[in-house]
Amino acid sequence: MISFTFNNQKIEAIEGMTIAAAIFSTGEKVLRQTRFGGDDRSIFCGIGICWDCVVTVDGVINQRACLIQVSDGMVVTS
Amino acid sequence: MKSPDAIVIGAGIAGASCALALTNAGLTVLVLDRGPVAGGTTGAGEGNILVSDKDPGPELTLALRSRDLWFDMQSDVGDHFELEAKGGIVVARHDEKPLKDFAAKQRAAGVDVQEVGDRELHELEPFLTPEITSGVFYPQDSQCQPMLAAAHVLRAVRLRGGQVITGATVKAIDTSGGRVQGVQSDKGNFSSPIIINATGTWAGDIATMAGSHLPIAPRKGFILVTAPAPKLIHHKVYDSDYVANVASSDADLQTSTVVEGTRAGTILIGASRERIGFDGRMNVDILRRLAAQATSLFPILRDIQLLRAYRGFRPYAPDHLPVIGEDSLIQGLWHSAGHEGAGIGLAPGSAHLITAQIIGKTPFMDPAPFSPKRFQAGAA
Amino acid sequence: MIAIIGAGPAGLSAAAAATRRGEEVIIIDSSSQLGGQYWRHLPSARNDSHSLHYDFSKAQKLFDELLSQPLLTRYSNSQVWQAEKCGDQFHLYILRNGVEEKVVADKVILATGAYDRTIPFPGWTFPGVMTPGAAQAMLKGHGVLVGKKVVIAGTGPFILPVATGLAESGAEIVGLFEFNNPFRWIFNLHGLLLNPSRIAEAFYYLKKLQKHRVKIEFGKKVESATRSSAVVDGTEIECDVIAVGWGFAPDVTLAGILGAQLGVDSDGTVIVKVDRRQETNILGLFAAGEATGIGGSTLSMIEGRIAGGGRGGLSRWRAQVFANGLKKVYPVPSILTKNLPEETIICRCEEVTRGQICTSIDELGAQSARTAKLFTRAGMGLCQGRVCGRNVSEIVADHLVQKVSDSERIAGGQRPLAAPISLGELGDGLAKKF
């Protein structure tokens, strides 16, 4: 198991899992808020097409949570 | 409306501005476009309303007035097109003397120019590379969303009694005794003593159709659009090669950078200029050069993703001055074209010049330098 | 050298056919594993792997063959972001683990597949509303259940394996709704009769679902969603996930970038036009699988084989008849994009509502989807209209009382970049002298 943080919460994950899978496995669905309406969003297409699940990964914005695999110590924010 | 007072061909920003100015002067106006509103160069532009890139001379005089007319137009039709005086910053990477000399000349011509040192520059643009330590700030430089501007201006024209027909291709321009009589289009024929050619890159074709001629050619430009990001860039930021490029006649590809943020959160990187006709293919090398230049100005952009790139064709005349005024061969045919990359900024000023001449008022400046006559004298 | 883009059923079959003929092949795929969306599976390190997929042995055989094939080079975690044809050769610019590389190939086979087609409804942006493909990818790729109480709806045979997989893994399927009536197959019986294995597969799923007491209901759809329920036929069903899919949309971006002729299929999707050898109008550029028309994995494999230089034969015809039947039995009615409430979000990225799109037509004179998009920013966001493009076109056409033209549909499939690239990586390409 490896661990990373999502909005400062520590999450354990199996190596090879995507960020979205790791977060979903904790029961959480909300990945981010939209930039105009501030509405909660989550995964939608799940395969990298729709970009609804974008999060900030180690400071880099607009990263698709459904594609990027977690790594130990990764810092993910909405 | 079979016989309007004036027919404007072209529903881009040049045509829309003319239609509004003429309507406000009391004329009934018909606007025709073969495509949709803002379907040509207007729809492919950043929305630049600049004074910073212009040499003292008639174009700068026009640009200064036109910039103020943009804000008048906003008061007239409403705050619908994201007009903002965001200000421009020009920086020099190597030799800053030409930049400062240029600024001094502009200041003498009435442009608001402020030289900024290291600290002030990085207060204005916190993410600008620390390697650059001075620049010139132009608070008058502004920006709008040009498609929305054309659409809302034309909406005002319609509400004030004008008519706009899109998807109407002009097939012929009727003339008799060296005077325009009207146009034939695939959506009907219309007669009018005044026809305004505001067709941008295609203005030469319309001139030919009327039996005149105009040497307007397309110059290709790319704009890179990034994924939306938080506000990283607060002004339009240019490297000073841009100023040199605009005034260049070199046909080779040249790139220099303009980087700016938009209200939608995307960052626009633009200003590649290439004169190779209408071939619209993507050129990966230009994308790379623009990206490399933008990230060297703003290293923080390295992690920002390019989302799309689009190209537009900037209409230009051989002497790089716009063509604004009545045709010297065909009476009643007026041109507002060939504004190159400055068409958005110069549109209301050009409309003002044309309208003043049509209704017999004294224009705010001598329109002679822009007259189409300069290209038509030999053929007359 | 042949470059194959996509490692799903079509791409892998093409790779197998080409390497068997002694060709050198490079296969480029965005995932870390072979299989594509269809044969997505858990990493081999996790031993609970393959039980979730019907007839996985076919896939495993291909994986085994290709993984030991010395003529095959694998680029995993790789996306082609840009491509050019220079003379007789193709230059592919690839982001491999985020770093740009260039690959030059004499022949390119596009096996880029498809993604779920979605249609807006009130509440469809709430977390928990997703495509069946998303639920499937989380389960098959990671063993993660997207929710405890799941509603599955839409149309097409794909919703059956998704429902089955979720039920088998412990989710409660609180509703399974197929909008179209299965009796429509009666008019396309030859498609079924020629492909008896497909009937067997359907019964496999239905039997499993029966075991979990899941009943499939026909002629119903999800009308709206709240944060914790779906409204179906006026009845509120409590659930934490709603998976709705309306068939698939082919991914034709790279074909468009390379200048290949695109066409519109009978289901209105934009596809790559190919000849009998799966070659496009661009010499040396081939396409196979869903990108040439939605037809399922069997047809994809056959097309892949042909593109790789192998034979198709009668099996192709049989699978094609089945694919044609699918489009007739599971149509997506145009009524779905009509009468949506004004405040319904159509473009998820830029949060553009149906009302805003209609206002751009009524007030600003937008007379086409292209102009409506420019005025409202619909389709201009991160996904570049992949999700909303077709729906915006339908809404604009409906509002103008027009039909969406083929040329507009095709224009909607054209994008200048096949994948985003960071400006840093893009600029660094200058020094690499590609």
- For residue C191, what pLDDT band results from cuts at 50, 70 and 90? confident
Amino acid at A13: A
Q: What DSSP letter does each residue of A21-39 carry, written as one string?
A: HHHHTTT----EE-TTT--
Question: Best interface-test mutation with B: which of C85, C104, C282, C374 has the largest number of B CBs within 10 A?
Answer: C374
Angle of helix C389-399 relative to helix C369-376, nearest 10 degrees, comes to: 110
User: Per-residue pLDDT for B252 more than 60?
Assistant: no
Per-residue pLDDT at B140: 97
Among all residues of chain C, which has the CA nearest to that of A47? Answer: C134
The token pair that represents C109 in the structure block: 């086979």
Among the partner-chain residues B228, B304, B305, the one whose CB lies closest to the CB of A35 is B228
Q: Which fold has domain C2-115+249-327?
A: FAD/NAD(P)-binding domain (3.50.50)
Domains of chain C, residue spans: 2-115+249-327, 118-246, 334-406
pLDDT at residue B281 tops 60: no
Distances in whole angstroms, Cα of residue C321 to Cα of each of B90, C196, C429:
64, 12, 46
Band of the pLDDT at C190, cuts 50, 70, 90?
confident
Integer-rounded Cα radius of gyration of chain C? 22
Interchain contact, A39 vs C351, CB within 8 Å: yes
Question: Residue B278 above 50 pLDDT?
Answer: no
What's the pLDDT score for residue B255? 58
Residues of B in contact with A59 (CB under 8 A): 303
Cβ B180 vs Cβ B333: under 8 Å: yes
Average pLDDT over residues B304-321: 88
> In chain C, what is the straight-line distance between the N-terminal and C-terminal CA atoms, in Å?
18
Q: Do domains C118-246 and C334-406 have the same CATH topology?
A: no
- End-to-end CA gap in chain A: 23
For residues C434 and C93, the answer to whether their CB atoms sit within 8 Å is: yes
Domain layout of chain B by residue ranges: 6-74+146-216+319-379, 88-139+217-316
**Rounded to an integer, what is the distance from CA C246 to the centroid of its chain?**
11
- Mean pLDDT, to the nearest integer, of C60-66? 95
DSSP C34-87: TTTTTT----TTSTT-GGGSTTTHHHHHHHHHHHT-TTEEEE-SEEEEEEEEET
Q: How does residue C4 score in pLDDT terms, banded at 50, 70 and 90?
A: very high
Do A29 and C127 meet the contact criterion of CB atoms below 8 Å apart? yes
Q: How far apart are CA B48 and CA B276, in angstroms?
A: 23
pLDDT higher than 50, residue B380: no
Cα–Cα separations (whole angstroms), residue B31 to A57, B194, C125, C418: 50, 12, 41, 38
Nearest-angstrom CA–CA distance, C89 and B173: 48
Q: Return the pLDDT at C97.
A: 92
pLDDT in tens, chain A (78 residues): 999 999 999 999 999 999 999 999 999 999 999 999 999 999 999 999 999 999 999 999 999 999 999 999 999 999
Q: What CATH number does the domain located at C118-246 have?
A: 3.50.50.60
Q: What is the pLDDT averaged over residues C44-67?
A: 80
Lowest model confidence (mean pLDDT) among B92-106, B127-141, B333-347, C99-113: B92-106
Spatial CB neighbours of B66, under 8 Å, sequence gap ≥ 6: B49, B345, B346, B347, B348, B349, B350, B352
Picking from B82, B63, B100, B102, the residue whose alpha carbon sits closest to that of residue B268 is: B82
Query: Mutation test of the interface with chain B: which of A32, A35, A52, choosing the one with the most B Cβ atoms within 10 A?
Result: A35
Residues of C in contact with A54 (CB under 8 A): 382
Subunit contact A21:C30, Cβ cutoff 8 A: no
B128-179, pLDDT tens digit by residue? 999 999 999 999 999 999 999 999 999 999 999 999 999 999 999 999 999 9
pLDDT tops 90 at residue B195: yes
The residue among B335, B338, B334, B343 whose CA lies nearest residue B317 is B338
Picking from B32, B165, B286, B307 by the largest number of C CB atoms within 10 A of its own CB, the best residue to mutate is: B307
Task: Kindly state whether B38 is in contact with chain C, defined as any CB-CB distance less than 8 angstroms.
Answer: yes
CA distance linking residue C89 with residue B142, whole number of Å: 45
- Spatial distance between the Cα atoms of A24 and B163, rounded to a whole number of angstroms: 55
Burial of C211 (C-beta count, 10 Å sphere; 0-12/13-18/19+): exposed
E-state strands within A1-78: 2-6, 9-13, 32-33, 40-41, 54-57, 60-64, 75-77
Chain A residues with at least one Cβ partner in B under 8 Å: 35, 59-62
CB–CB of B113/B136 below 8 Å? yes
Q: Is C183 left (phi over 0), alpha (psi -120 to 50) or beta?
A: alpha
B253: pLDDT strictly greater than 70: no
Nearest to C117 by CA among C358, C432, C333: C333
Residues in chain B closer than 8 A to C384 (CB atoms)? 307-308
ipTM: 0.97
Q: Could you tell me where the DSSP H helices lie in B210-253?
A: 241-246
Residue B274 has pLDDT above 70, yes or no: no
Query: Given a cut of 70, is residue B245 above it in pLDDT?
Result: no
Please state, in angstroms and rounded to a whole number, the distance separating the CA atoms of residues B131 and C357.
45
- pTM (2 d.p.): 0.93
- Are residues C144 and A25, on separate chains, in Cβ contact within 8 Å? yes
Q: Is the pLDDT of residue B53 over 90?
A: no
Q: How many Cα neighbours within 13 Å face the side chain of B369? A: 13
Q: For position C193, what pLDDT does the model report? A: 85
Q: In C253-281, which positions are buried (b, 16+ CB within 10 angstroms) versus exposed (e)? A: bbbbbbebebbbbebbbbbbbbeeebbbe
Longest Cα–Cα distance of chain B, Å, equals 65
Q: Which residue has the higher pLDDT, C434 or B113?
A: B113
Residues B342 and C196: their CA atoms lie apart, in Å, by 66
Task: Please check whether the domain covering B88-139+217-316 is classified as CATH 3.30.9.10.
Answer: yes
Task: Spell out which residues of chain B touch residue A35, defining contact as CB-CB under 8 Å.
Answer: 228, 265
What integer is the mean pLDDT of B69-91? 95
Is the minimum CB–CB distance between C99 and chain B shorter than 8 Å?
Answer: no
Q: Which CATH number fits the domain that encloses residue A9? A: 3.10.20.440
| Helix/strand/coil (H/E/C) assignment for every residue in C379-430 | CCCCCCCCCCHHHHHHHHHHHCCCCCCHHHHHHHCCCCCCCCEEHHHHHHHH
Residue C189 has pLDDT above 90, yes or no: no
pLDDT of B329 strictly over 60? yes
CB neighbours of residue B286 within 10 Å: 20
- Write down the residue that tokens 């934490």 correspond to: C240
* Amino acid at residue number C267: D
CATH number of B6-74+146-216+319-379: 3.50.50.60
- Which residue of chain B is at minimal alpha-carbon distance from A57? B303
**Residue A37: which domain range?**
2-77
Q: Provide the number of structural domains found in chain A.
A: 1
What is the token pair recorded at C39? 């044969």
What is the distance between the alpha carbons of residues B115 and B135, in angstroms, rounded to a whole number? Answer: 6
Contact (CB, 8 A) for B306 and B226: yes
The closest alpha carbon to B218, from B37, B351, B340, belongs to B340
Distance (Å, whole) CA C34 – CA C317:
27
Q: Cα-Cα-Cα-Cα dihedral of C8, C13, C15, C19, to 10°?
A: 160
Angle at B176 between CA B172 and CA B181, to 5 degrees: 60
Preferred mutation among A1, A14, A39, A49 to probe C, highest tally of C CBs within 10 A: A49
pLDDT of residue B118: 94
Q: Do B305 and A62 touch (CB under 8 A)?
A: yes
Residue B261 token pair: 């943020």
**CB of C384 closer than 8 Å to CB of C378:** no
How far is the C-alpha of C184 from the C-alpha of C155, rounded, in Å?
A: 13
> For C215-253, what is the HEC assignment?
CEEECCCEEEECCCEEEECCEEEECCEEEEEECEEECCH
Distance CA B125, CA B233 (A): 6
How confident is the model at residue B254, as a pLDDT? 57
Mean pLDDT of C153-175: 96
Determine the CATH number of domain C334-406: 1.10.10.1100
Q: Taking 70 as the threshold, does the pLDDT of residue B276 lie above it? A: no
Residue B336 to residue B214: CA distance in whole angstroms: 11
Phi first, then psi, for residue C274 (nearest 5°) are: -135, 160
Closest Cα in chain B to A62: B227
* Cβ contact A45–C130 (<8 Å): yes
Mean pLDDT of chain C: 94
Total count of residues recorded for chain C: 434
